Every structure is written in C-alpha cells, then in structure tokens.
Amino acid sequence: MARPSSTDRLLRLLALPAWVSDHPGATLAQAAAQFGVTEGQLRRDVETLWVSGLPGGTPDLLVDFDADLLDEGRLRLTAPLGLDRPVTLTREEGTALLLSLRVLARLLSAVPGATAPLRRAEQVLSDLLEAPVQAVGESEDPVLAAVTRALAEGRRLHLVYASATDERSERDVDPFEIVSDGSHLSLRAWCTHRRAERTFRLDRILQATVTEQAAAPHRRLRAQGLERLADREEAQTAELHLAPAGRWLVEQAGCERVEEHPDGTLTATVRGRSRDWLVGLVLSAGRHVLDVSPPELREEAAARARAALALAQGDRQGDSTS
C-alpha cells in the first residue's frame, strides 16, 4: 500500500475544520468517508488539530472540539480560530485552475453538453481573477495550442524540451493525453526516441510543432506503478551511509527508504533525476557521507572533488606568484 503523503494530510487538516463547521454533529464515519480515510486516521487528525493553533500555545489559542461529542463519535468545533472558513486559492493557483478549465473545454468541445458547464466555471473564475475570458480556440500559448491540435487530429508532435536539469533535447512523440498533478499540466505521450511512454511538463516544452505524420497506436501503461516506472527509467538510485550529523540530507533529498542503525548512522536510498544530480548530492553532503553505493558513483564524486581541489590550489598558486 502506498504511504499517504504529508501534503495530503496537511490539505485534509486545513479542510477538516471548515467541513465540520458546515456539518456540526457529523459522525467520524461521515467525515472519514468525506475525506477518503479511515475513522482511526480521522480521529488522529482531530487530535493533531487539538494541539494546533496560534503562537503562545495556551488553551485559548488552540483549536478546540467538543470532547464529550467526540467520545460519542461525533464532531463539533468550539474554537475554530478562523479555520472554519474555507481555504482560498492564491492568484497563481486560480490561474492554473483557469488554464486547466480552458484545456478541458477545448478537449471536450465535441462532447455534447460538456462545454457549457466548463464555460460557466471558467467565467466565474475569470471574474474572481478579474481576467478576461478568451475563446477556447484563441489560446495565447503556442505550445498548448499545438498539443491540443495534435491530440484532436491524431498527429505526431516534434518537441524541443528542457528537462529538470535544464538539458535541452529534441524528439518526436505520439500524444496520448494532457494530465494535471494539481500544480502543473503535462503531456503523456509515446517518445519515439526512447521507445517508451513518457511525461512532458508543458511549461518545459520550449517548442511544439504538429507534423504531417499521423500518431501511431501504442500500448498504454495503464497501471500507475508502471507509469511511474517508465517515467523514472532513466533515473538512478544511490545508497548513502550517513553519519548521525547527516540526518539533514535525509530530510532535504526526499529519500525513498531510510534505515537507522544502533550506532546512530543511517543508510538512505535516494533516487536522483540524473547521475550528475547524485554526484552533486554526494559532494554537498561532504564529511557526513561515510560510504556510497554503487562504487562507480563514489569514485566519480571523489574524482570530481579532487579536480575541484586541484583547480582551487592552482588558483591560489597563481595568485601568490602574480
């Protein structure tokens, strides 16, 4: 079973007081069903909120629920501290949502009855953002326009793409769909260069050109786990043995697995977006790294450190003779 993310729980903790305020006396079971968690997890969320609040930490500055009702398995806020109001979107979040609505409206333009509600939601959001609504076919983003056209016409795309490490590449892809992770829009497509399904963030596509060639049919990786495997096929994994003082790296690097040892040291498994990224991570950890696996990564990091040291020593010698 996938481990629930801390982001998901934070969003639930922010939304729970507002929901309880709108549904006073609701049961734990009802709240758990609303948020898609177990009753036990929902109760733990309430207990976390109970010790949350404003700076100072005194009882009058903490979120409070009716304890007697909670013993009966029901929820009622007695001191919401402003959390009973729904969390508002930032302008950036609202703009991202507006863009998503426009993409949906364009993709579903041929579906009877689908466009009208999307247009209404788009108008409401545009009014809130005080942004004029453009016609769906008049997108100012040439990348989005090319991608949606290729999807609609079943054409192959030629992309100029910048990766997360700012490496530019060109490739031809057969588009499948536009997806969103809640903060970015991405194109899922078959990459003819890698001969595999890949995900391309739209904001990293520098140029998209619709070709005359029809997109070829491909077998989709429907299972989420297989999609993630395909996306991370080129990523590399390293195992770092860290001194106790290197715990900060575990928190910053987003390790896949961490094993703590009786002597206080840790073994962290890290998946890097590229080999260069992993080498940089090892170098940044410095003396806190006791060992690195695979050995080739350790040797490459050591070689790069020696080269940097030699360069620095050469600069100092040059300064002393000038």
Alpha-carbon distance values, 256 to 206, 240, 267, 270 (Å): 31, 12, 11, 6
Pairing verdict, β 196-201 and 185-191: antiparallel
Tokens of 157: 């795309």
pTM of this structure: 0.39
- Closest residue by Cα to residue 202 from 224, 185, 214: 185
CATH architecture, domain 236-317? 2-Layer Sandwich (3.30)
**One-letter amino acid of 226:** L
CATH architecture, domain 93-231? Roll (2.30)
User: How many C-beta neighbours within 10 Å does residue 250 have?
Assistant: 16
Does the structural domain 6-79 have CATH classification 1.20.58?
no
Rounded distance, CA 284 to CA 269, Å? 16
Residue-level pLDDT at 58: 72
Rounded distance, CA 236 to CA 255, Å? 13
Rounded distance, CA 102 to CA 141, Å? 12
User: How many C-beta neighbours within 10 Å does residue 169 have?
Assistant: 11
Break the chain into its structural domains and give their ranges: 6-79, 93-231, 236-317
Residue-level pLDDT at 221: 57
Rounded distance, CA 249 to CA 283, Å? 12
**One-letter amino acid of 210:** V
Residue-level pLDDT at 214: 93
Task: List residues bridging with 116 in a β-sheet.
Answer: none
Q: What is the pLDDT along the chain (322 residues), one digit of tens a residue?
A: 444 556 678 888 888 998 998 899 999 999 999 998 999 999 999 998 888 877 766 777 788 899 899 999 999 988 887 777 766 677 777 777 777 777 777 767 666 777 788 888 888 878 877 755 444 444 457 888 898 889 888 999 999 998 765 678 899 999 998 877 655 778 889 999 888 888 888 888 999 999 999 999 887 754 444 344 444 444 578 899 988 877 777 766 667 788 888 888 889 888 776 777 788 888 877 788 899 988 888 888 888 888 877 776 665 555 555 5
Residue-level pLDDT at 156: 95
